[in-house]
Structure formats: structure tokens, C-alpha cells
Chains A and B, each alone.
Chain A
Amino acid sequence: MIHIDGSTGEGGGQILRTSLALSMCTGKPFRITNIRAKRPKPGLLRQHLTAVNAAQSICQADVTGADISSLSLTFVPGQVNPGAYSFAVGTAGSATLVLQTILPPLLCAKESSTIHLEGGTHNPWAPPFHFLKQAFLPLIERMGAWFSAEITQWGFYPAGGGKCIFRITPPAEKLLNIDLTERGRLIRSEVLTAVANIPWEIADDECKLIARGTRFPIDRFRAENVSSSGPGNVAMLEMEFENSRAFFTGFGEMGTSRNKVAHLVSSSANRFFACGAAIDEHMADQLLIPMALAGKGSFTTRAPTSHTTTNIEIIRSFLDIQIQISEIRKGVWKIWNG
């Protein structure tokens, strides 16, 4: 039984999700203690519980301690069963974080899966649906998998109620190695801003403000009025390079001006564009597990966050691999394994 200390590093829910994913991929049971011990509301929250329950249901795991506010959990995984599943996340919690938990084992499975998710699709602190569809999953496709992703209803905080479907076809053999050291030339950039149940002009303004703020040309911009049960606003910028993809997001909420939202998106995109790394820091976190499972891979990114280093530590607990980090030039770091 692998023991994970939930208070390691940044000590958040990511430790739990990574552990669940790798436990299912490797068949190794684990016990996690001090779950989110340093957070103001320690222990398992509802969104974590949904992730645990989702993991439990795709592999018929034996789970103890899966209760609200529980500080420890034991997870003994069974055989992963690909197939059709539906998961609903309460409190407008992010549906994509549930996907993040079960995607790695489904990538290691022999058959395709269809995952219906309900909950938040565009939440701060979680990868938005469009990040997965436009940036992350295309990179994983390069590792041999195939995806389709559809959104039928958007889910914003606090009303939630979003609906999306992911179809996952794992690679025929195993995940392929990927080399993302050089990003190549910027070949496409698009802005998509969306509003639900608030004036469309807000999205329109954000679009123009982002386009005006970036130090690179925007090929296409769209401001959309989307269907959602509550109000919401998100501004997204997608960049496609010859050898990489990047994605930047800003959320509008009560009391945040459209200027500020747009500035957040354009300034972080500008910083990334200027540094020359192939992968932005959010993508870096997501890539670690597939890359580790493939056995060999590398990417360049900006200075690793504590999120990233913690994630690496957890991966090392499950997989016998070396993940190395070094600063290859000022502000650009290379992370590789194998």
C-alpha cells in the first residue's frame, strides 16, 4: 500500500486526483492522509468526493473514508472498465476535474469510453472545457489517442448545470513518447469570449480588448451568447504553434471589469509568447501524467509551480521513473523523463 501525505507541497485536491489516476493505471492501492490539511475547509469536499466516486465506479475499487470532510482515504482499485459513464458534480464544481481523474486510466484501457459530465464547464481554478478540447486533448492525440468533445450547455459558477460529452479512444498499443521542447512558429490564434444571461456587449468588448492587448496578431475573434442556467462570462485565447498549443483564460464575475478580464488574458498570453517556452504552466501540470505513463517525453515551460513539483512527487510514488527539471535558459525550464 502506497502512503501519500496529503499535506505535501501545495497540499490541495490535485494530490488526490493524481493519486487516484495513477492508482487505477498501475493497480496499486494507496492510502492518503492529511487530505487538504492546510486548507481553510480541510478534508474531502464534494467535488473531491465526486472524483473519488467516479474513480470507484470505473474500476470497482474498494474505498474507505469517502465522506465529506474526511481527512484520510484508502483506495484499492480493481480492473478499469471502459464504457459509458455519467457523472454529475454539485456546487457548480468543475466537471473537467472529474475527467482529469479518470482520463489517464481510460487512456490505458483497451476499449473506448464515453463520459457524460454535468456541472461546471468553465470554472476558475480548473481547466475549462475549451482548454481540454482545443489545447490539451489535441496534444494527447499526438500520443496516439483519439478524442471528441462536445458541449451542449455551459456551466458557470455558481449555477453550474453545464453538460458535456467526451469520447475517448485509447492508443492501440500504449501512449507514444512526445517531444515538446520547441514550439515552432505561431500558426493560428483565436479569441472566444462567451456570456450567458448577461449583456452580449460585455463579451464583444472583451474580444476587442484582448485583440488590442496582445503583441501578436489575432486571426479570428468571436463573442458568443451561450446557453447556461445561470449568468456567466469567460474570455479565452487559444494559440496553435507548429509543435505546440497554449490556452489562456479569464473569468468575468460580479465586480470585475471587462477591461480587467481582457487584460488578464492578453498579458499572460504576452508573457508566454515572449518567453519562448513550448508549454504554458497549466498545460505542464496536465501533461505530466500522460508523459510519465508513456515512459518518455519532454517539454519546455516557464518556472515550475509548486503544483507541478508536488505532482511530480506523487507520480514518483506510483511509477518507477525519474522526472528531471532544469532551467535551460533564463525563465525557461525543461522537464523530461526517460
Chain B
Amino acid sequence: MKNVVIGFLGTTLDRRGKDSRWERWRPTVAVCQHENLLINRFHLLHNARDLSLAEQIREDITAISPETEVILDRIEFKNPWDFEEVFSGLLDYSHGFHFDRENEEYLLHITTGTHVSQICMFLLTEAGFFPGKLLQTGPGRGNTPPGSFEIIDLDLSRYDSIARRFAQQTHDDISFLKSGIQTRNQDFNRLISEVEKVTLRSSAPMLLMGPTGAGKSRLAQQIYALKKQHNMVSGQLVEVNCAMLRGDMALSVLFGHRKGAFTGATENRPGLLQTANKGILFLDEIGELGSDEQSMLLRAIEEKRYLPVGSDQEVESDFQLICGTNRDLKADVKKGGFREDLFARIKFWSFRLPGLTERIEDIEPNIVFELQNRSREAGKAVIFSSEARTAYLKFAVSSEARWPGNFRDLNTSISRMAILAEGHRICMDDVKNEITRLESEWTSEDTRENYSDSPMTEITSLIGRQASSSLDLFDRIQLAEVIKICRKCKSLAEAGRKLFSESRKQRGKVNDSDRLRKYLQRFDLTWDMVSKLIIDD
């Protein structure tokens, strides 16, 4: 086994002047001066400004310890006291480091560097990003070398108390992933604790499977927030529903385009993959993605680079991919609807979120949670009467309750009762009405099937639920048809020509594009939004 040390250059302690430097303890050099510690390689992290000191230290180590190879690794911090910067810098360093654990043992020297870097080293070692032990060194009497050293293995039981505190943190993280809902279903809880581990230890793609309303999207949001909390992402969360990405513009929406790539491409557009750089891209309903998009996405995941539409220059984007699906992707792969290689890539970590009926013991905690949310919104406690609560719960867990929309249905149902209830108190009557409403909704299930294809829904997703419900039916029907035409056209001009074809014939000089643009503006819509389907839900 070779011993490999990773440590910061001590810009103060390692700098002891030219002539008296051997008489004083210099932590980095001293690491290689111990008779009972043989270091085969030393990765000395330093910034550009301290290069000459680093070189001096390398020379001295080579003299004192011919067995040691010193590698100067430059790592630049604008502010070495900034936790986020140092942590993410070290995390990047650990990602780029080729760890060969079969032949090498790693020691993280935590005596040098700012206390921020010490803490970050500790955390990264504890979290396993640096698969090694901590090396703590101290001066001898009278500040003489080599002094003492101690190797701290965080896996050992004497550090259990530290580990326990981390366990508490883990518990908090798990609770965080569950949005604070005290779920009781054991399978679900096991699943979430796995998700938590994966979230904090991996940036490989995750696939969240499960029926609609099982909470995929919410979980993706919580994963992002947890990563953000642990400084593991610096970019944003970009959520896209692939079902909404149809037509010619889908490629451009995802991968961006160059100005002039096609008619109507009047500006450079970065694309959602670029927006997700250093963050997370959540592609919901991944099974709906077209074949061109699938192959481009595959390349973007594999190489972290891709070509925007109409560009001959590749761009880079480093994002973590989370995909959601309610379809059986394996079956899609067999039928040829989904690329097998892409499927293999995106399911590196796959999790199946159970539907509500598979975890009926979680209905109650979800009700509690949803009521808390309502109470917060209302600024007043929204409660069930005990009789109403029992009745609702009895129905909710019964076999009559099919909950096809899973937790989304349950939450909507609670919201409805909370809004309709008099004086923030949900009574027996409210529950009875709600049950009737749910039952009738579930019996007309067929209409639900086409729900997402209805133009009304598209309007809602384009301009928001509130704006949509304030429109007259007249306007809504008109807008829906206009959007439908727009979707089929390649550009604003083409859509304008189609929509205003009759008036065109009568007038001499027209500007159809302008007319259409102005029409859309009335609804705060732009051509981009309509044609490229940015979902603003």
C-alpha cells in the first residue's frame, strides 16, 4: 500500500525563511520527516501566488524524504475563508482526483490551510468524497521538527459521537426530503433514506418512477434543495415536462440555438441544459421525449457537451440529471420508442415511488401536513372536527378510494375542503360533499385520460391557472385555437399568414406577424412561449 497525502501549503507555518527553516517545525515538510511514517506521494495544494514557496517545500521534501514524490496541485480560492467556495473547490478537486484505493491509502493533512479548509476537508472525508483518513500534525517541543502526528480514521468507533451528530443531520436530511411529512410506510422511508444517501454522495443520473401524483416532482425539488444546502450544486433547478416539449422547437428549447439557426431565431438562446449548468435538470415524463432529443440528451449526459441547434461550436454544461416517468420505460425500450442506451444512462439510480394506495398509512401524516400548509396560508388553524376527520380517514384508506392521482388528488381534496369549510373547521357535511365529489370524479375517469391534451389545459399551463380562469369562455376558445395553429407553424410569420389569410387578400400591405404578436401580448404571451412551450405552472 502506498501512502498518499493531500494537504494545503501552509502559507504561514511552512514559510520559515531560508536559513532557519530546518530548525523550525514546518507542518508540510514535517509530515515527511517522521521515522515511522513513509509518504510515497504528497499532493500539495497551493495557489498561484505561493508557487515559489510550494517549490521550495517540494525541494526540501525531496531532500529529506527521497521516497516521496511531491505533486504541486494548483487550487485557486478568491476567498479561502468562504465556506461555499472552499467546499465546492475541494469537492471538484476530489471529483477530479484519481483515487486508486486498491493500491493507495489517502491521508488528508488538516493542519495547514484556513480553518475553513480544515472543516471542509473533514466534511468531505467524513462524507467519503476523500476516501481516506485525516492526518493531524503538531510541532515538537520548542517548535522543532518533526513533532508528532496522528492518523484519524473517522470510521472508527471512537468517533461515534461525531458520527451520531452526523446521523442526526442525516435524519434531518431525510425529513427534509420528505418535506417534513412524518411518513410511516416502511418501504417509502427506506426508499427516502436511500435517496438521501445517493443525493449526498452521487451526482449520477437519478430516475424517479411512479404513478402520476406520487410526488416525483416534489421529491426532485427537495433533492435539489438538499444538495443546495450541502453546497453540492451551485446552479439552479430547471424543471421541464417532456410531454409539453413537442414539435420542432423541442430541440431548441432544450439545447438552445444560435441566432439565425432558423427563421425566427433572432437571438442566441442558451437552452435549458445550459440554464441547468452546475445545477439539476429535472426532465419529467422523460418517456415522452422525441427521438432526436433523446440522442442529443444522451451525448449531453455522457460528454457534458453538445451542439446547440445551428451552431458548429459545442457548449459545455455540467448538470445532474433527474428524470421522472410514470410509464414503463423498459417496455418502451423493447418496443423501440425509447433508446436503450439512454435508458441505461438515466437509470443509474432508480427509485420507484409507490402510489398512495400502496402506502395508506401515510395518508394521515399527509393530511396533517396539508392542513398545516393551509393553516399557514390562511393565517389561522384549519382543523377537522373529530367526527369529520374519522369519516374522511375511513373513506381515504378504504378500497372505494382509488386515488388515481395519488397524493396530488389527496392534497387537492384537502385544499378544497379547507377552502369550502366555514370558519376554518372542516365538518361532517364538508367531508360528505367531498367524498361525493371524489367518487363522481373517479367514475368519469375516461375524460381524465385526455386531460393533458386539452387546449384548455395548455392555456392554463401557459398563462397560469388564475389568469386562465379569469378569461371569458369566448376568449379562451379563441386563444386555444390560435395556440393550436401556432404550434403547427415554424415561425411567427407563417402562423400570421395562416391566421390572417382572408384579410391578407383584401389589404394591400399587411403585417400579419405584428398582428399576431399584439394579439398574444394581450395575454402576456410571446411567440417563444407559445411555440416552445415554456411551462409556467
Give the interface size bracket for B toward A. Answer: 20 to 34
Contact of B64 among A45, A47, A160, A254 (CB under 8 A): A160
| Residue interface bits B15-45, CB-to-A below 8 A is 1, else 0 | 0000110110000000011111110000000
A118 vs B68: C-alpha distance in the bound complex, in angstroms? 14
- B144 lies within 8 A of chain A by Cβ: yes
**A118 near B66: Cβ-Cβ < 8 Å:** yes
A88 vs B35: C-alpha distance in the bound complex, in angstroms? 14
Residue of B nearest to A230 (CB): B22
Residues on the A chain within 8 Å of B36, using CB: 41, 43, 45-46, 68-69
**A158 near B66: Cβ-Cβ < 8 Å:** no
**B66 near A90: Cβ-Cβ < 8 Å:** yes
**A158 near B33: Cβ-Cβ < 8 Å:** yes
- A178 lies within 8 A of chain B by Cβ: no
Contact of A158 among B19, B37, B38, B146 (CB under 8 A): B146
| Residue interface bits B32-73, CB-to-A below 8 A is 1, else 0 | 111111100000000000000000000010011111100000
Residues on the B chain within 8 Å of A82, using CB: none
**B35 near A41: Cβ-Cβ < 8 Å:** yes
**B63 near A46: Cβ-Cβ < 8 Å:** no
**B64 near A90: Cβ-Cβ < 8 Å:** yes
| Residue interface bits A33-75, CB-to-B below 8 A is 1, else 0 | 0000000010101110100000000000000000011000000
Contact of A46 among B20, B38, B60, B142 (CB under 8 A): B38
Residues on the A chain within 8 Å of B142, using CB: 254-255
**A159 near B35: Cβ-Cβ < 8 Å:** no
**B37 near A68: Cβ-Cβ < 8 Å:** yes
Known contacts A41-B35, A49-B38, A160-B63, A254 near B144 by CB under 8 Å? yes
Find residues 209-255 in chain A having any chain B CB closer than 8 Å to their own CB: 229-231, 254-255
Contact of A159 among B22, B34, B67 (CB under 8 A): B22
**B67 near A46: Cβ-Cβ < 8 Å:** yes
Residues on the A chain within 8 Å of B68, using CB: 90
- A161 lies within 8 A of chain B by Cβ: yes
- B145 lies within 8 A of chain A by Cβ: yes
Chain A contact residues, majority secondary structure: loop
A47 vs B66: C-alpha distance in the bound complex, in angstroms? 12
**A229 near B63: Cβ-Cβ < 8 Å:** yes
Known contacts A230-B22, A254-B23, A158 near B64 by CB under 8 Å? yes
- A93 lies within 8 A of chain B by Cβ: yes
Residues on the B chain within 8 Å of A159, using CB: 22, 60, 63-64
| Residue interface bits A157-186, CB-to-B below 8 A is 1, else 0 | 011110000000000000000000000000
Give the interface size bracket for A toward B. Answer: 20 to 34
Expressed in whole angstroms, the minimum distance between the Cβ of B55 and any Cβ of chain A is 15
Residues on the B chain within 8 Å of A119, using CB: 66
B36, B38, B65, B142: residue with the most chain A Cβ atoms closer than 10 Å? B36
- A148 lies within 8 A of chain B by Cβ: no
Known contacts A158-B146, A231-B23, A254-B142, A91 near B66 by CB under 8 Å? no
- A279 lies within 8 A of chain B by Cβ: no
- A92 lies within 8 A of chain B by Cβ: yes
**A161 near B63: Cβ-Cβ < 8 Å:** yes
A93 vs B146: C-alpha distance in the bound complex, in angstroms? 13
- A322 lies within 8 A of chain B by Cβ: no
**B64 near A46: Cβ-Cβ < 8 Å:** no
Contact of B38 among A88, A90, A160, A197 (CB under 8 A): A90
**B63 near A91: Cβ-Cβ < 8 Å:** no
Residue of A nearest to B61 (CB): A90
Residues on the A chain within 8 Å of B38, using CB: 46, 49, 68, 90
**B67 near A90: Cβ-Cβ < 8 Å:** yes
Residues on the B chain within 8 Å of A49, using CB: 38
Find residues 173-203 in chain A having any chain B CB closer than 8 Å to their own CB: 197
Q: List 27 A-B contacts (CB under 8 A).
A: A41-B35, A45-B36, A46-B34, A49-B38, A68-B37, A68-B38, A69-B36, A88-B66, A88-B67, A89-B66, A90-B38, A90-B64, A90-B65, A91-B32, A91-B65, A92-B33, A93-B35, A118-B66, A159-B22, A159-B63, A197-B19, A229-B22, A229-B60, A230-B22, A231-B23, A254-B144, A255-B142
Given contacts A91-B146, A159-B63, 9 further A-B contacts (CB under 8 A): A90-B65, A91-B35, A91-B64, A158-B145, A159-B22, A161-B64, A229-B22, A230-B22, A254-B142
Chain B interface residues toward A at CB < 8 A: 19-20, 22-23, 32-38, 60, 63-68, 142, 144-146
A-B complex: 9 closest residue pairs judged by Cβ atoms: A88-B66, A230-B22, A45-B35, A159-B22, A161-B63, A90-B65, A41-B36, A68-B38, A158-B145
